Amino acid sequence: MPFVGLGLHFFVAVFFAVHALRSGQQLYWLIILFSFPLLGSIVYFLAIYLPDSRLERGARKVVAAAAKTLNPTRELKEAHAAFDYTPTAQNQMRLAAALLEAGQPLEAAQSYDACLKGPFASDLEIRLGASRAYFACERYAEAITHLEFIRKTDAGFRAEQVSLLLAQALAGAGRGVDARAEFESAVERFGSFESRAEYAIWAATAGDTATSARLQVELQRSMDRWNRHTRELNKPLLRRLNAAFDRR
pLDDT along the chain (248 residues), means of 10: 52 78 72 76 73 53 52 76 84 89 92 88 93 96 97 94 98 97 96 95 95 95 90 91 86
State the pLDDT at residue 8.
65
Closest CA to 166 of 131, 201, 199: 131
Q: Alpha-carbon distance 19 to 40, whole Å?
A: 14
State the pLDDT at residue 212.
94
pLDDT in tens, 163-189: 999 999 999 999 999 999 999 999 999
- CB atoms near residue 73 (< 10 Å): 11
Q: Alpha-carbon distance 147 to 166, whole Å?
A: 6
First to last CA, the chain: 58
Based on the number of CB atoms within 10 Å of its own CB, is 1 exposed (0-12), middle (13-18) or buried (19 or more)? Answer: exposed
State the pLDDT at residue 2.
45
State the pLDDT at residue 1.
39
Please compute Rg for the chain using Cα positions. 20
pLDDT in tens, 128-144: 999 999 999 999 999 99
CA 211 to chain centre: 23
Q: Alpha-carbon distance 183 to 171, whole Å?
A: 10
